[in-house]
Chains A and B, each alone.
Chain A
């Protein structure tokens, strides 16, 4: 049955279409205009009018233009060859677009996201007669450093019986490699690629587990004080320029996970370019291969069409779920979720929905919650563990966290790394606020020790506030030393130089070691004659540790520097909870209480 569907209105990137026949919510359609077909998605249906958001510039569309509905939801292609690629929010490969169109993006061109001519070396892992289910492997190919599992498509129901399976050998993506029969006796031909609607979570696992293992970022303040867990969620809200993107860039390089998916959502193109050009050159010390081999970039920057921006975070998380299904640990970094929320706001406005706070749609909260829900640590049906961790930046209007997107996000995430304008202005990077941030996950350092450090920070801040009222002369030497200890901890441990080859990424082993050393200073009873003397000594101490932080782990320089610091420390220590020895957990817990 041929139905004729036509454009009846255009407003911004929203087009109204009069249709006959059936139309599904989130169905993909194409608007035919000027010899091009523009990809769009149905976002509202009323009577025989569908409102669709167009993933392209809408210039030139006219009333009466024909519209073709596809009957399919907005989906991505899942198969080997995703790693190392750079896609836009709809999974169009940007380098291939560039090869075809040059400097500028051209609308209506959708190259295949995966290389269909490439041959993959397939090894089957099931036999004829094997019973399988959706998301279970039937074989594998080598994708760079990974064993890429070829899985039963996620959309097949029930237990399936393998009727035939290809032998080991070279196959193209769309070659048929297996036939399976479902419970109703229907035969399904399987290739190495299948598609999955981006807005539907993948749930082909045995169970979801509580995230408990730390995800190492090698950023001290995070791993030690505000840890992230594999399968957990966290957010980085902060005013502009506070360092959200830099923090995510560092994390994307250094995080100890298998795969990193970077979703540049409505932010600057230039920032993606840095990742794009640098990653292929950077060697991952763990694997000895280029970082790009473990990375996928989804890039829908701020000047690209806003509807595709809305889709981009879903495209990214769907790919993350796909790799999790292979028993891998995936980190998804989304920058910025506020731009995604704004994309929803723009559409909601065009749909003339009743607006909520700051004109965001009323359903904002539930959509944000549903997105972060797609993170998780799962046990797969074969017993292996896999995880998707989601870290999203938030760009609150006016830098004020009391706004809908930040608040909705804070309700659902497991860790909060709030960036502070004051700290970034003072060039204290990473500008994560050490008093306001929190994490519900266990970290790499004994909780009581970390708590002790934080208690010093809190106390130091109190003294600082007090000093602002009573002045330095009105502050006791004892309090003043606490203040100096807090400043010291901040300067040499919380702050980290991301551009220093050594300091930029600190292994957990070194973090534990150095933190114990710092605890010695923090817990030491120091004898000073005056505040001047105390400040002078702490300045030297800070200097000593800053130099120490720049020395390669356990190098001679490192050890020498440590001895120099120890000599300095010995000068002022009268009695200490443990000069020269390690502070035990019990002791430090007690100290924390006393403070």
Chain B
């Protein structure tokens, strides 16, 4: 029988302290409040002073409320019964279905032994040329969408999820607007994949601490399935909310902030989650697609900045398009050597020219006379944006490559493209 403590010593932010013995770091407790029970997690021990972070927040907690330690850390149920179900950030059902308590597993477990990983090798086809051709997505990649709020990032996420060939989709929502939650539900339902989807959703109106649990729960479940041979796609939206929740707790705990109020371990904390993306030898895989909204469209803001240093590239969403600059899939070279011989060269060549187009555009905006070369670039840039960048374009990679050559041939002489002669002779379209 575990002891019950009935004196809360301090309440500050979402953190309470009690005097207790025999408690373990990261152990779970239940706080019985007037408004119902809430889970809480031990986040610091100092002699017999125990600090706990309360999932439901400390609002309404009274110093006389009871705290009961459970003797184990945070766990989540893991079985096929999860499929098609919707839970909140503490793992409680959100869909009116039964609570699941069978075969509990720990969350936030140790990392995969690097020696047990394999080199990712399968391309994830999305039908989006800006991804397939220029920044190929690879199974087991961790990749966020960088975006300002207001951009259609959730739509993009859902579209990729529906097109990707995976066994299982897990959606981790953090600070999700209710409408967006409904949007995901509807589009996955319409896409006919709801039965192999699991939702862990924290909405904007839920207590902030629960937001912190979402990635760990979602990824623990994903790991469970992946080690059993399933190819899992985890969608995490929006990781900036997750980081902000961490910041809130750190400030309450009076930690010295490192950068704009964020804790010094922001990098390690984010990495611990993203690094769960993995391809196992003789088992399944976890691919993580996240959303990182950039406050003030500032990519040097600590959250996108740290994320960029952790993930294997990012898709930069701006004005409803995936920008070629800033966007990057670092795993692309693992797969784009095996697609078509012109893939890599075209990918680099077209982007270099697009960069030159941007320069010409700038010159034009400053009122300079446009040279012939500038004019060619301008024509190219427009074509490129319309036929490659527009998100409504939905074609397979091979068609996108052909289209690439077509665009080049319409605008340039072969020598102007900087592409190697052998490729030009093989792929340059004959004059139309």
Query: CB distance A342 to B264 under 8 Å?
Result: yes
Interface size class of B (residues with CB under 8 A): 35 or more
Q: Is A454's beta carbon under 8 Å from chain B?
A: no
- Docked complex Cα distance between A262 and B406 (Å): 44
Q: Which of B259-292 contact A (CB under 8 A)?
A: 259, 263-265, 267-268, 271-272, 275-276, 280, 283
Please measure, in the bound complex, the distance between the C-alpha atom of A501 and the C-alpha atom of B16, giving whole angstroms.
Answer: 61
Contacts of B363 in A (CB 8 A): 468, 471-472
Note all chain B residues with C-beta closer than 8 A to A539: 415-416, 418
Closest chain-A Cβ to B74's Cβ sits at a distance in Å of: 10
A472: chain B residues at CB < 8 Å are 363, 368-369, 371, 374
Name which residue of chain B comes closest to A272, CB basis: B114
A455 vs B120: C-alpha distance when bound (angstroms): 43
Partner-contacting stretch, out of A3-11, A70-78, A115-123, A364-372: A3-11
What is the minimal beta-carbon distance from A177 to any residue of chain B, in angstroms? 32
Assess whether B265 is in contact with A62, with CB atoms less than 8 Å apart.
Answer: no
Contacts of A12 in B (CB 8 A): 265
Question: Which stretch in B7-15, B23-31, B175-183, B201-209 binds the other chain?
Answer: B23-31
Contacts of B312 in A (CB 8 A): 268, 270
A12 to B120, CA, bound (A): 32
Q: A60-B24, A471-B363 are in contact. Are A303 and B272 (CB under 8 A)?
A: yes
Residues in B neighbouring A468, C-beta threshold 8 A: 362-363, 366
**Is B58 part of the contact surface with A, judged by Cβ < 8 Å?**
no
Asked if B338 is an interface residue, CB under 8 A from chain A, the answer is no
Q: State which of A97, A274, A346, A547 has its C-beta within 8 Å of the C-beta of B113.
A: A97
B252 at the interface (CB under 8 A from A): no
Instruction: Establish whether residues A241 and B313, one from each chain, have CB atoms under 8 Å apart when the complex forms.
Output: yes
| Shortest distance between the CB of A5 and any CB in chain B (Å) | 15
Name the distance in Å between B73's Cβ and chain A's nearest Cβ.
6
Which of A58, A95, A303 meets B271, CB within 8 Å?
Answer: A303
Partner of A240, one of B47, B117, B309: B309
Q: Is the CB of B258 within 8 A of A425?
A: no
Checking B117, B259, B283, B328 against A241 with a beta-carbon cut-off of 8 angstroms, the contacting residue is B328
A-contacting residues, B343-367, CB 8 Å: 344, 348, 351-352, 355, 362-363, 366
Contacts of B272 in A (CB 8 A): 302-303
Bitwise, A258-288 to B at CB < 8 A (1) or not (0) is 0000000010111011101110000000000
Contacts of B352 in A (CB 8 A): 426-427
A304: chain B residues within 8 A (beta carbon) = 111
Name B344's closest neighbour in chain A (CB-CB): A499
B114 is contacted by which of A64, A269, A397, A471 (Cβ under 8 Å)? A269
- Of A61, A270, A360, A536, which one neighbours B120 at CB under 8 angstroms? A270
With A346-B268, A468-B363 known as contacts, the answer to whether A94 contacts B113 (CB < 8 A) is yes
Binds A, one of B82-90, B158-166, B300-308, B393-401: B300-308
| Distance of A94 Cα from B312 Cα, bound (Å) | 23
Which of A57, A63, A472 has the most chain B CB within a 10 Å cutoff?
A63
- Contacts A270-B312, A471-B366 given; does A426 touch B415 at CB 8 Å: no
Q: Measured between alpha carbons, how far is A471 from B275 in the docked complex, in Å?
A: 48
Kindly count the residue-residue contacts between A and B in the assembled complex, taking CB atoms under 8 Å apart: 212
Given contacts A277-B119, A301-B275, A302-B271, whether A543 and B418 have CB atoms under 8 Å apart is yes
A546 proximal to B (CB < 8 A): yes
Task: Flag whether A101 is at the interface (Cβ < 8 A).
Answer: yes
Contact for A543 among B112, B118, B308, B415, CB less than 8 A: B415
| Interface residue ranges of B301-346 to A (CB < 8 Å) | 302, 305, 308-310, 312-314, 325-326, 328, 330-331, 333, 337, 344
**Shortest distance between the CB of A555 and any CB in chain B (Å):** 15
C-alpha gap A295/B363 in the complex (Å): 50
Q: Given the complex of chains A and B, what is the CA–CA distance between A245 and B368 in angstroms?
A: 40
Tell whether, in the assembled complex, residue A105 and residue B368 are in contact, meaning their CB atoms are under 8 Å apart: no
Among residues of B, the one whose C-beta sits closest to the C-beta of A359 is B258
- The answer to whether A62 and B45 touch across the interface, beta carbons within 8 angstroms, is yes
Bound together, the chains give a CA A585 to CA B325 distance in angstroms of 41
Q: Say if the beta carbon of B227 comes within 8 Å of chain A.
A: yes
Q: Are A10 and B115 in touch, CB under 8 angstroms?
A: no
Contact B257 A359, beta carbon cutoff 8 Å: yes
B117 adjacent to A269 (CB under 8 Å): yes
Q: Does A436 contact B (CB under 8 A)?
A: no
Nearest CB on B from A368, distance (A): 17
B196 interfacial contact with A, CB 8 Å: no
- Report B31 CB to chain A, min CB distance, Å: 20
- Separation of A195 and B421 alpha carbons in the complex (Å): 58
For B267, give the chain A residue with the smallest CB separation: A342
Kindly identify, within residues 89 to 137 of chain B, every residue whose CB is under 8 Å from any CB belonging to chain A.
Answer: 108-120
**Within the complex, what minimum Cβ distance (angstroms) separates B225 from chain A?**
13
CA distance A355 to B117 in the complex (A): 38
B424 → chain A closest CB, angstroms: 9
- The answer to whether the Cβ of B80 comes within 8 Å of any Cβ in the partner chain is no
In the complex the two chains form, is A499's CB within 8 Å of B337's CB?
A: yes
Q: Which residues of B contact A270 (CB under 8 A)?
A: 117, 119-120, 140, 312, 331
**Interface status of B420 (Cβ within 8 A of chain A):** yes
User: Is the pair B415, A540 in contact by a Cβ cutoff of 8 Å?
Assistant: yes
State whether the Cβ of A86 lies closer than 8 Å to any Cβ in chain B. yes
**Interchain CA distance A163-B302 in the complex, whole Å:** 62
Q: Are B373 and A273 in contact (CB under 8 A)?
A: no
Is B189 an interface residue, CB under 8 A from the partner? no
- Bound complex: CA of A345 vs CA of B309, how far in Å? 17
Contact (A346, B265) CB under 8 Å given A105-B112, A270-B312: yes
**Within 8 Å CB of A531, what residues of B?**
371
Instruction: Kindly state whether residue B195 has any CB partner on chain A within 8 Å.
Output: no
Q: B277 to chain A: closest CB distance in Å?
A: 8
Q: Which residues of A contact B275 (CB under 8 A)?
A: 268-269, 301-303
B111: A residues at CB distance < 8 A: 104-105, 269, 301, 303-304
Tell me, rounded to whole Å, the shortest Cβ–Cβ distance linking B119 to chain A. Answer: 5
Given known A105-B113, A269-B112, A471-B363, contact A58–B421 (CB-CB < 8 A): no
CA distance A536 to B268 in the complex (A): 51
> Is B382 on the interface with A (CB-CB < 8 A)?
no
Contact assessment for A535 and B264 in the assembled complex, using a CB-CB cutoff below 8 Å = no
Question: Given the interface contacts A471-B368, A472-B368, A539-B415, does A274 sit within 8 Å of B110 by beta carbon?
Answer: no
Nearest-CB residue, chain B, relative to A94: B115
- Bound: A191/B259 CA distance, A: 50
Report the bound CA distance from A345 to B300 in whole Å: 20
CB–CB B265/A306 < 8 A: yes
Bound state CA distance, A582 and B333, in angstroms? 39
Separation of A105 and B115 alpha carbons in the complex (Å): 10
Closest CB in chain B relative to A335 CB, distance in Å: 11
B296 smallest CB distance to A (angstroms): 13
Flag whether B44 is at the interface (Cβ < 8 A). Answer: yes
Task: Give chain A interface residues in 528-584, CB to chain B under 8 Å.
Answer: 531-532, 535-536, 539-540, 542-543, 546-547, 550
Whether, in the assembled complex, B251 has its beta carbon less than 8 Å from a beta carbon of chain A, the answer is no
Nearest Cβ in chain A — how far from B300, in angstroms?
A: 3
Which chain A residue shows the least CB distance to B108? A59
- Collect the chain A residues with CB atoms within 8 Å of residue B25's CB: 10, 58-62
- Inter-subunit contact A98/B115 (CB<8 Å): yes
Asked if A491 is at the interface of the complex by the 8 Å CB criterion, the answer is yes
Q: Are B45 and A9 in contact (CB under 8 A)?
A: yes
Contact of A10 among B45, B271, B372 (CB under 8 A): B45
Distance to closest chain A CB from B258 (angstroms): 4
18 A-B Cβ contacts within 8 A?
A60-B24, A61-B45, A94-B114, A239-B308, A268-B275, A269-B111, A270-B120, A270-B312, A272-B114, A273-B114, A273-B119, A276-B114, A339-B267, A342-B268, A345-B258, A359-B256, A397-B259, A397-B302
Interface residues of chain B, those whose CB is within 8 Å of chain A, are: 21-27, 44-48, 73, 108-120, 140, 227, 255-259, 263-265, 267-268, 271-272, 275-276, 280, 283, 300, 302, 305, 308-310, 312-314, 325-326, 328, 330-331, 333, 337, 344, 348, 351-352, 355, 362-363, 366, 368-369, 371-374, 415-416, 418, 420-421
Given A11-B46, A102-B113, 11 more A-B residue pairs with CB atoms under 8 Å apart are: A60-B24, A62-B25, A94-B115, A95-B115, A239-B308, A270-B331, A303-B268, A427-B355, A468-B363, A472-B374, A499-B344
